[in-house]
Amino acid sequence: MAEQADQPSVLSVSGLDVTFRTLRGEVKAVSDVSFTLKRGEVLALVGESGSGKSVSTRAVMGIVRGNASISAKRMQLAGHDLLTLDEDAKRKLRGRVISLVFQDALSALNPVLSIGDQLGELYRTHLGISKKEARERSIELLRAVRIASADRRIDDFPHQFSGGMRQRILIALAIALKPEVLIADEPTTALDVTVQAQILDLLDELREELGMAMLLITHDLGVVARTAERVAVMYAGRIVETGAVDDIFRAPAHPYTAALMASAPRIETVEKLEPIRGAPPSLIALPPGCAFHPRCARRGELCDKVRPELVAGPNGRSHACHYPLVEIAHG
């Protein structure tokens, strides 16, 4: 996206490591992850379960569970240095500057509070406005996420809404304070097909209206294709390939990206699906060298010995592979 190339970055992370201590050993959930998000753009973090995509963004939000150790070389959010900021200051950024839409709308909402109370509480805490004004703002917010008869539904409880409507309410909570960065963690995974498309459309419209940047976490290449401009593919806690969505879908460089695409079924054509053999590795005992090598069809001499570094090429593309499908560093 040409116009976004000049935009300043609103979120910039480099060298992020997240390690969990467990009874069975240290789990390196995220290793040396770096990415930047420019104002107004959509970056997708895509990967299978256990790839570290959710943990990375939770580390940025500062909401990883207690037994984790997090370190990074750099973590900048809209002019704030997240590495030096104290807990109190970070809390103030959440909601106002960076915000998160969770996956499961039923468990993320409080079942015993009305929607109006939950939205109103947010306004009263952060903006210190009156109950009446908070209520009015909440109704406006419900309208913004296209909930019909918002002025009547404001007093309803979460269970009185359908799954799609609850997801809209979660989005309303996340955008209430007009954040600059919205993290959407599998925002449509639990929804029906037609509703899924509606929610993606809504996120897209809101992003444009509010000028937010969006970090989209998903396992679904179809969601990436529809919504994102850039994509970072994660495997076993590391980014293995990044670039513009069009470039990567046209010609993936990393064999894992290519294999993921070949395993995804399509409607227009019936080709035999090509699954990736085996299963994602355990993060406690990662294979030596490239973590993908035991499943890789292009495995060569180096792959089980030397871990490939992420190599940057032109057009913001990079990959971590000794034997890539496309040579991007020179071309």
Q: Which residues bind another protein (CB under 8 A)?
A: 48-49, 162-165, 192-198, 200-201, 204, 219-226, 245-246, 249, 259-261, 263-268, 270, 272-277, 279-280
Tell me whether residue 208 or residue 327 sits nearer to another protein (CB atom).
Answer: 208
Tell me whether residue 75 or residue 283 sits nearer to another protein (CB atom).
Answer: 283
Give the shortest CB-293-to-another protein separation in angstroms. Answer: 15
Tell me whether residue 123 or residue 256 sits nearer to another protein (CB atom).
Answer: 256
Q: Are 145 and 171 in contact (CB under 8 A)?
A: yes
Q: How far apart are CA 217 and CA 221, in angstroms?
A: 11
Tell me whether residue 50 or residue 120 sits nearer to another protein (CB atom).
Answer: 50
CB-based burial, 204-222: b 16+ in 10 Å, e otherwise: eebbeeeebbbbbbbbbbe
Tell me whether residue 106 or residue 129 sits nearer to another protein (CB atom).
Answer: 106
Tell me whether residue 23 or residue 267 sits nearer to another protein (CB atom).
Answer: 267
Q: How far apart are CA 48 and CA 17, in angstroms?
A: 19
Give the shortest CB-266-to-another protein separation in angstroms. Answer: 6
Give the shortest CB-295-to-another protein separation in angstroms. Answer: 8
Residues sharing a CB contact under 8 Å with residue 34, sequence separation 6 or more, in sequence order: 13, 14, 15, 16, 239, 310
Tell me whether residue 31 or residue 257 sits nearer to another protein (CB atom).
Answer: 257
Give the shortest CB-69-to-another protein separation in angstroms. Answer: 27
Tell me whether residue 16 or residue 54 sits nearer to another protein (CB atom).
Answer: 54
Q: Which two tokens stand for residue 249?
A: 């879908």
Give the shortest CB-173-to-another protein separation in angstroms. Answer: 20
Give the shortest CB-124-to-another protein separation in angstroms. Answer: 31
Q: Which two tokens stand for residue 283?
A: 């993060």
Distance of CA 268 to the CA centre of its chain: 28
Give the shortest CB-190-to-another protein separation in angstroms. Answer: 10
Tell me whether residue 240 or residue 245 sits nearer to another protein (CB atom).
Answer: 245
